[in-house]
Amino acid sequence: MNKKIIIIAVVILATSAMLLIQANENKKIGVFEPSIFESHVRFLSHDLLEGRGIGTRGSGLAQLYFETIFRLSGLEPVADGSYRQVYKMLRFSPDQSGEMIIESNGSAIPLKFGDDFICTNFGIKNNTWSGKPVFIGYGICSPTDGWDFYKDTDVKGKLLIGFTNEPGRDNPSIFKGKELTWFGRWVYKYEEAARKGAAGLIIIHSDADAGYSWDVVRNSWSGDTFKLADDKNILPLQMWITEPTARELVKNSGYDLNDLRKKSENRHFKPIELPVQITVNSKLTAGATDGVNVAGIKPGSDPKLKDKAIILTAHYDHFGIGREIEGDSIYNGAVDNCTALSLLLALADAYGRGRIENKMTLIFAAVDAEEEGMLGSTYYTMNPAVPLRDTIANINFEMNNAWGETRDVVAIGADKSDLMKMVSIAASHMKMTITADNAPEQGFFYRSDQLSFARAGIPALWVDGGYNYIGKPDDYGAKVRAEYRAKYYHKPSDQITGDFNYTGLTQIAELTVLLIKEIETAGNINWDKKADFKR
């Protein structure tokens, strides 16, 4: 590493730590100043950290920053005297010169990587696959919901193609209607295809199905992809294709994509082999790297409750230095996820210094590799600092409110457990209301680290600011969040902008303190009977 960069990094780290100490000394107990959150966001989203790509120098600087704050605050190491939980991952690089060729009626149509399709080879034999693809509709196998798109079709060694999301988006009686569930997520679809023994899966992208533009897919999948080293269920070939390209492919097969979608809305759907030849050539480039969770513990003060724990989380990984857009190639991730990290760190400091009492043990964890399918939080649930049976709840922070104070709060996933009652009481103390997520089709609960804890049986939620902004027009909240998703999400432009207002983060921090008190008072949390998850 360049010595000049090391010196700059150390100076910034030391200065940030000093400012943090001074701010905490001057603030009242239980009160969070906006400057605290701004300081964290400014440092973590700085170009010096190079987008915090996994295994990079910037990621290492972020880890050192978290550890420094945890040490200064007096938090205890997470395990064996260390604040770091290190685990092995596999790194896979996409073949940017990879090929996808459609052959039909004697003609060959070559597709362009990035513009027409995205592909990563995780272990396809001989770096190539050729044959007739099998259309699998929405690719869901859920006996509980009465849907099986595979039926008894043998798809071993086959390349599959299908939609993301779920059937019945206009019908609440099918899955959850407009609200996206786990079965609609691309992560699930690749996992299910791997369980069926498929060679690969091509997911058809549309803005409506995915909830984001093709640019998001291209930016997210043009760089390295990671898997836990001991994952035995990795699909060899994982691909996305644009909707116009999919229409052309299906048309060359003698089908119409709209008709295939209509067929996919029927429970009696069976896989269809498309009479068109597809050849995919993609070189396997793989290596090993470490993932790192950084965590600290504040033991509980109540002898009757200290053996129980609440874990607070936020991921710190982003996309590092990637595809250049408008002259910028650093994916700073100011909102995603520095805003959330600022909450985690401010709370860790306040509790660690004893400015706020905690009766239950609190674990503060900055987790890695969320963008890769929540790998860091998944690893933690398999290697917890406190046994899962004694972990009462997970409070996750993700892409949090950077635009000012609101009269309401969004508690994503709280309705799946007793957490809804508890967060409602906490909000009422602040004269705030709980508002429903205005983008249920995005399936946010299934897209961040709270899902890892829910899948492990721990009631979890993602706490965020609402949409009713104080001093702003009624439609401001919906507009600013829609604009963020359209212009900044997973792009180099996700940087601090002139409309950032950190008072909203102070609200979420104060709300979290009240929520923790409600959880401690209850002593336990039960899942709703209709929830997807159980203890």
Q: pLDDT in tens for each of the 535 residues of the chain?
A: 455 555 455 445 544 544 454 444 444 444 599 999 999 999 999 999 999 999 999 999 999 999 999 999 999 999 889 999 999 999 999 999 999 999 988 889 999 999 999 999 999 989 999 999 999 999 999 988 899 999 999 999 999 999 999 999 888 888 888 888 999 999 999 999 999 999 999 999 999 999 899 999 998 898 899 999 999 999 999 999 999 999 999 999 999 999 999 999 999 999 999 999 999 999 999 999 999 999 999 999 999 999 999 999 999 999 999 999 999 999 999 999 999 999 999 999 999 999 999 999 999 999 999 999 999 999 999 999 999 999 999 999 999 999 999 999 999 999 999 999 999 999 999 999 999 988 888 899 999 999 999 999 999 999 999 999 999 999 999 999 999 999 999 999 999 999 999 999 999 999 999 999 999 999 999 999 888 888 8
Which structure tokens are listed for 285?
């480039």
pLDDT at 169: 85
Residues facing 200 on adjacent strands: 159, 237
Same domain, 391 and 442: yes
User: How many domains are contained in the chain?
Assistant: 2
Residue 140 lies in a domain: yes
Which domain-ending residue is among 282, 299, 316? 282
Q: Residue 525 has what pLDDT?
A: 97
CA distance 83 to 345: 14
My answer on whether 132 and 216 are in the same domain is: yes
Joined together, the tokens standing for residue 143 give 């006996």
State pTM to two decimals. Answer: 0.90
- Alpha carbon 37 to its chain centroid, in Å, reads 21
Give the Cα separation of 369 and 378 in Å (integer): 10
- Residue where a domain terminates, one of 233, 261, 282: 282
Is residue 529 a part of any domain in this protein? no
For 401, residues 6+ apart whose C-beta sits below 8 A from its C-beta are 339, 464, 465, 504, 505, 507, 508
328 and 467 fall within a common domain: yes
Domain-embedded: residue 530: no
Strand, helix or coil at 70? helix
Cis peptide before 337 (omega within 30 of 0): yes
CA pair distance 132, 257, nearest whole angstrom: 17
pLDDT of residue 419: 98
Q: Could you tell me which of 314, 349, 296, 351 has the C-alpha nearest to residue 520? A: 351
24 with 108, same domain: the answer is: no
End-to-end CA distance of the chain: 46
Name 151's Cβ contacts closer than 8 Å, sequence gap at least 6: 270, 271
68 in a structural domain? yes
Which parts of 274-396 fold into alpha helices (H)?
Answer: 340-352, 375-382
* Token representation of residue 291: 């993932």
Residue among 413, 333, 420 nearest 370 (CA)? 333
Q: In this structure, are 379 and 236 located in the same domain?
A: no
Domain boundary among 247, 282, 317: 282
Strands 84-93 vs 285-298: parallel, antiparallel or unpaired: antiparallel
Q: Do 157 and 237 belong to one domain?
A: yes
Q: Do 187 and 143 fall into the same domain?
A: yes
CA torsion 80-82-84-89 (nearest 10°) is: -50
Report the pLDDT value the prediction gives residue 381, as an integer from 0 to 100.
Answer: 98
| Same-domain status, 401 and 316 | yes
Residue with tokens 């209850």: 522
Q: Are residues 104 and 181 in the same domain?
A: yes
**Residue 108: both structure tokens together:** 């060959």
- Judge if 396 and 507 occupy the same domain: yes
Q: How far is CA 496 from CA 58, 331, 335, 368, in A?
A: 18, 12, 8, 22
**Contact indicator for 161, 424 with CB cutoff of 8 Å:** no
Within 442-475, residue ranges assigned H as helices are 450-455
As to burial, measured by CB atoms within 10 angstroms (0-12 exposed, 13-18 middle, 19+ buried), residue 291 is: buried
CATH number at residue 142: 3.50.30.30
Cα 350 to Cα 37, 340, 419, 428, 515: the distances in Å are: 13, 16, 23, 22, 15
CA atoms of 491 and 213, how far apart (whole Å): 11
24 in a structural domain: yes
**pLDDT score for 256:** 97
For residue 220, being part of any structural domain is answered with yes
Same domain? 346 vs 438? yes
**Helix extents (H) in 305-384:** 340-352, 375-382
The closest alpha carbon to 252, from 284, 272, 278, 283, belongs to: 278
Instruction: Give me the domain span that covers residue 419.
Output: 3-89+290-522
What CATH number is attached to the domain comprising 383? 3.40.630.10
Within-domain flag for 390? yes
pLDDT, residue 62, reads 98
Burial class of residue 289 in the structure, from the number of CB atoms within 10 Å of its CB (0-12 exposed, 13-18 middle, 19+ buried)? middle
494 part of a folded domain? yes
Kindly state whether residues 272 and 297 are assigned to the same domain.
no
Give dist(CA 506, CA 55) in Å, integer: 31
Parallel, antiparallel, or unpaired: how do β-strands 147-148 and 321-325 relate?
Answer: unpaired
Structure confidence at residue 14 (pLDDT): 47
For residue 192, give the DSSP letter: H
